[in-house]
A and B are shown apart, each in its own frame.
Chain A
Amino acid sequence: MALISTLGTVPAPALAIRGLAMARGYRTLFRDLDIDLAPGQVLQLTGPNGTGKSTLLRLIAGFLKPDAGTIRWSPVPDEVSPGEWLHYSGHHEGLRDGLTAQDNVATLASLLGGDPARTGAALGAVGAAPLAELPVEVLSAGQRRRVALARLLVAPRPVWLLDEPFTALDRDGQALVRQLIGAQAAAGGLVIAATHQPLDLPDLVHVVLGGPAS
Chain B
Amino acid sequence: MTGWTALLLRDLRLARRVGAGAELGLVFFLILVSLLPFAIGADQRFISRIAPAFLWLAALLATLLGLDRLLQADEEEGVLDQFMLSGTPLELLVLAKALAHWLVTGLPLSLVAPLLGLMLAIEPQAMVPLALSLLVGTPALTLIGLIGAALTVSLKRGGLLLSVLVLPLTVPTLIFGATLVKEAALGRPYTTPLMLLGGMTLLMLVIAPVSAAAALRHARQ
Contacts and interface: CB of A to CB of B under 8 A. Distances in A.
B221 A94 contact: no
Contacts of B3: 110-113
Given A63-B220, A112-B3, A83 B86 contact: yes
A205 interface: no
Nearest to A136: B77
Contact of B7 (A90, A94, A97, A111): A111
A95 B85 contact: no
A60 B20 CA distance: 35
Contacts, number: 85
Given A111-B7, A113-B86, A99 B79 contact: no
Contacts of A63: 81, 84, 220
Contacts of A108: 82
Contact of A112 (B1, B73, B74, B82): B82
A84 B6 contact: no
Interface string B61-87: 000000000000110111101111111
Interface string A82-121: 0110111011111111110001001110111100100000
A1 interface: no
Contacts of A19: none
Instruction: Please classify how large the interface on chain A is, using the bins under 10, 10 to 19, 20 to 34, 35 or more.
Output: 20 to 34
B6 A110 contact: yes
A96 B84 contact: no
A157 B124 CA distance: 59
B13 interface: yes
Given A63-B220, A64-B221, A91 B10 contact: no
B81 to A, nearest CB: 6
B150 to A, nearest CB: 15
Contact of A84 (B10, B83, B85): B85
B82 A111 contact: yes
Contact of B78 (A83, A94, A99): A94
B154 to A, nearest CB: 13
A185 interface: no
A150 to B, nearest CB: 13
Which 7 A/B pairs are nearest by Cβ-Cβ distance?
A92-B78, A110-B6, A111-B3, A83-B85, A94-B78, A111-B86, A107-B10
13 contacts: A64-B221, A84-B85, A86-B85, A90-B78, A92-B77, A92-B81, A96-B74, A111-B3, A111-B93, A112-B3, A112-B86, A113-B87, A116-B6
